[in-house]
Amino acid sequence: MAGKPTYEQLEQRVKELEKEVAERKKAEEALRALSSRQEALLSAIPDIVMEVDSNKIYTWANQSGIEFFGEEVIGNEAAFYFEGEQNTYNQAQPLFNGSGNVIYIESWQRRKDREKRLLAWWSTVLKDTHGNVAGAISSARDITEQILTEDALRESEEKYRHLFEMESDAIFLIRNGDGQIIEVNTAAARLYGFSREELLRMKNTDLSAEPDKTRKATLKQKREVPTRYHKKKEGTVFSVEITATHFTWRGEEVHIASIRDITERKQAEEALRENESKFRSLFELSPQAIALTAIKNGKLIDVNNKFCELTKYAKNEVLGKTTTELGFYSEQNRNKFINELQKSGGVHGLGMDFRAKDGSILHALMFAIIIQISGETFILTIFLDVTGQKKLEAQLQHAQRMEAIGTLAGGIAHDFNNLMMGMLGNISLMLFDTEPSYRHYDKLKNIEKLIENGSKLTNQILGYARRGKYEIKPTILNHIVKESSETFGRTRKEITIHRELADDLFATEVDESQIQQVLMNLYVNSANAMPGGGDLILKTMNVSHQKMRDKPYKVKSGNYVMLKVTDNGTGMDKKTTERIFEPFFTTKEMGRGTGLGLASAYGIIKGHGGYVDVDSKEGLGTSFYIYLPASDKAIPKTFDTYNHIMESSGTILLVDDEAIIVDVGAQMLKKIGYTVLKAQSGKEAIELYRENIDKIDLVILDMIMPYIGGGEAYEKIKEINPKAKVLLSSGYSVDGKATEILERGCNGFIQKPFNIGVLSQKIMEILGKD
């Protein structure tokens, strides 16, 4: 049995207990110090640190946790702070059932100010000394900004990728140095015809259709590069416009290039330049005057050459000035133009007068539209010069009056020929039965001669008024000169006519009526230059081409007949002489001359293969020289018709609406042996011919009759008998309608008045009898 402990043993035990207490206090102090340091450390870190017991009640939180959740978090269940995040909260369950030691979860939680933030939790289990789950300790970090930044970055990348792919231009990401293509968009593959994979195996130089030197220059530019030429997969070369910039991407120096196919734009630009060039060419070469006026101030911005030619201004004299400053229009005309422009938005054929630099008044039709050029508004105006047309209209009216006068003169001459037919017919009948010894025989012959001269006068009137074909035949020009000058001399008694006509003059092939027209124009021109009277000298002579040297034209080899027409009138200056043969040029005031006389004379002589010259000096008179080619053809002989009366027999149908002509004509026909049937209308003539078709040898048919004229009657007679022989008769000349009927097969033409001799010859020519 153990004995009672000794004092020494008790004292030793006390010392051991004291030592144990001291060591325990020391350990407790160390634990408290460590706990204090741990708490200070946990409170100092920026992350949230929370401790939860096995019942999932927050038992401790560091300073960051208190600041985030508030002091009331201690003692509250953790699930309260996972409001709306139940699934996330349940992910921590393994810590409490022993199936997990550390877990990571992300959860949206609200701060004490109710702002929602995303926290990343790292949690580990706490166990007691027996190994049982005593709770858990968790640290949390606010990753809201990080997640938002990452989301924004992803969104930005998605937007970039979307824009990159949706961009219509080809986009290339190219590595600096070696030019390797490291990224392309869909448009690039579509433009070049390569797949994306094929392009990523290529370098930018593989796409160029230019020399290396040009390609390298492209990469050195930081901004827009001039137009280059690239090639597609199939080899097509096209124009591109490149915009490039450098930057660092994923640690590499790269440049991004935007490439646009500008082939169509280049073509459009080229077409625009071509159109601008064409517009400028049309503007400058236009036969119409064109002006461009700024609408804001009315100043002329541009004019073409025709405008300067028309207005007599140089271009630098009008640019920058208004039409008002230049005095182009009267105030009334300017207001009329502006009102029309404002009313209709354009001017279409507005007739206006304006004044040229030299003071002359021009007539124009104005056409104008409002156009936009480079954002500014202008008026584009075209001046259609109708000054000449105005003159032409006046001249046309004059020509129409002259034509009416000619028609009237022709009608009078026709009727006068019919009257003279009655007289000449009766005189011819009297001479037929009268011996030359009869005491009035010479008087009758004189009357016959006077009637024939009167007939020549009416024939000249008909020639001036005539229309239709011309008759070219060998003629001695002296005859035309003599007859025409005699006729002119009767109308201008104040003019003394001198004739110096060559006796041995060559023949020339002309239409007498046309040459008469030329001579009459020259006579009138000379007379106008001698208003108080003067001398008109007419001279003819033979010349050869060798005597026609130093002419402003090339003369054909051969002989010519020259006619010189000289007056001692006022003469002309050099400028007028140079323009005298121009159509519509006249020195007379408006309404006093057409300006066509000398122009037509020039045209007629040229049409005959001849030449016209003029020599004139102011105050000394004028000489016209006409050269006509000589002809070696024989001149048709004329003879005394009265001495060649040819008597015969047969039946003739005489048709004329004038009773006196039918009567005298029938008597003449009977005198030379013919049986005569008479008709005074086309209808009666057709009926008589049908009834006597087997008897009638010839029809003498008047041209001008009422109802059924000579032309229609001729056609009807030919229908009855295609072999019918017809001699046309008219107071008009052979030209015009008579020529048309002759061309349809009519046998001949006789012009009134005629005597027995002419009548008998014409009949014999048709019937073919001796």
pLDDT of residue 563: 94
DSSP output for 181-218: EEEE-HHHHHHHS--HHHHHTSBGGGGB-S-HHHHHHH
For residue 604, the number of C-alpha atoms closer than 13 Å in the C-beta half-sphere is: 23
Distance from C-alpha of 42 to C-alpha of 25, rounded to nearest angstrom: 25
Regarding the domain delimited by 641-767, which CATH topology (the fold level of the hierarchy) does it fall under? Answer: Rossmann fold (3.40.50)
Q: Is the pLDDT of residue 414 over 80?
A: no
Asked if the model's pLDDT at residue 725 lies above 80, the reply is yes
pLDDT, greater one: 58 or 167: 58
Does residue 542 surpass a pLDDT of 60?
yes
Q: Does residue 523 have a pLDDT over 50? A: yes
Tell me which of 264-273, 399-408, 637-646 is least confident. Answer: 637-646
Mean pLDDT of 371-400: 76
Is residue 181 within 8 A of residue 172, CB to CB? The reply is: yes
473 has a pLDDT exceeding 70: yes
The pLDDT of residue 222: 41
pLDDT of residue 736 exceeding 80, the answer is: no
pLDDT at 735: 56
Q: Are strands 224-231 and 748-751 parallel, antiparallel or unpaired?
A: unpaired
pLDDT of residue 652: 93
Q: Which helix (H) or strand (E) holds 269?
A: helix 263-285
pLDDT in tens, 559-593: 999 999 999 988 888 777 776 766 544 554 433 33
Sheet with 170-175: strands ordered across? 181-184, 170-175, 252-261, 237-249, 224-231
With bands split at pLDDT 50, 70 and 90, how would you rate the model's confidence at 538?
A: very high
- Provide mean pLDDT across the span 678-701: 92
- The mean pLDDT value for 677-683 works out to 92
> pLDDT at residue 303 above 60?
yes
Query: What's the confidence (pLDDT) of residue 194?
Result: 92
Average pLDDT of span 415-425:
78
- Architecture of 469-631 per CATH? 2-Layer Sandwich (3.30)
Q: What stretch of H or E contains 363?
A: strand 361-373
Give the closest residue to 420 by CA, choosing from 463, 456, 466, 464: 456
Phi, psi (rounded to 5 degrees) for 207: -95, -15
3-state DSSP percent of the chain in helix, strand and coil, to 5: 45, 30, 30
* pLDDT for position 478: 93
What pLDDT was estimated at residue 551? 73
pLDDT tens sequence across 702-722:
888 888 888 888 899 999 999
Does pLDDT of 469 surpass 50?
Answer: no
pLDDT in tens, 441-461: 888 887 877 777 666 666 656
C-alpha 130/C-alpha 136 separation (Å) is 16
Using DSSP's 3-state secondary structure scheme, residue 292 falls into strand
Domain boundaries, the chain: 39-145, 167-266, 286-385, 469-631, 641-767
Question: Fold identical between 167-266 and 641-767?
Answer: no
List the helix and strand counts (H, then E) for the chain. 23, 27
- The predicted pLDDT at position 373 comes to 75
- CATH code reported for the domain at 167-266: 3.30.450.20
**pTM of this prediction exceeds 0.85:** no
Residue range 30-80, pLDDT digits in tens: 666 655 665 665 555 778 888 888 888 888 888 888 888 888 888 888 777
Q: How far is CA 695 from the centre of its chain?
A: 71
Query: What are the tens digits of pLDDT across the range 312-333?
Result: 899 888 888 888 888 887 777 8
pLDDT tens readout for residues 131-164: 788 888 888 888 888 877 777 777 766 777 777 7
Q: Is the dihedral of CA 394, 400, 402, 405 positive or negative?
A: negative
pLDDT of residue 497: 93
Q: Is the pLDDT of residue 598 over 90?
A: no
Name the CATH architecture for the domain at 286-385: 2-Layer Sandwich (3.30)
Domain 39-145 sits in CATH at 3.30.450.20
Asked if 523 contacts 563 with a C-beta cutoff of 8 angstroms, the reply is no
Specify the range with the lowest mean pLDDT, choosing from 102-116, 182-196, 298-312: 102-116
DSSP 568-631: -S----HHHHHHTTSTT--SSPTTS--S-HHHHHHHHHHHTT-EEEEEEETTTEEEEEEEEEEE
Tell me which of 36 and 740 has the higher pLDDT: 740
Mean pLDDT confidence for 399-423: 70
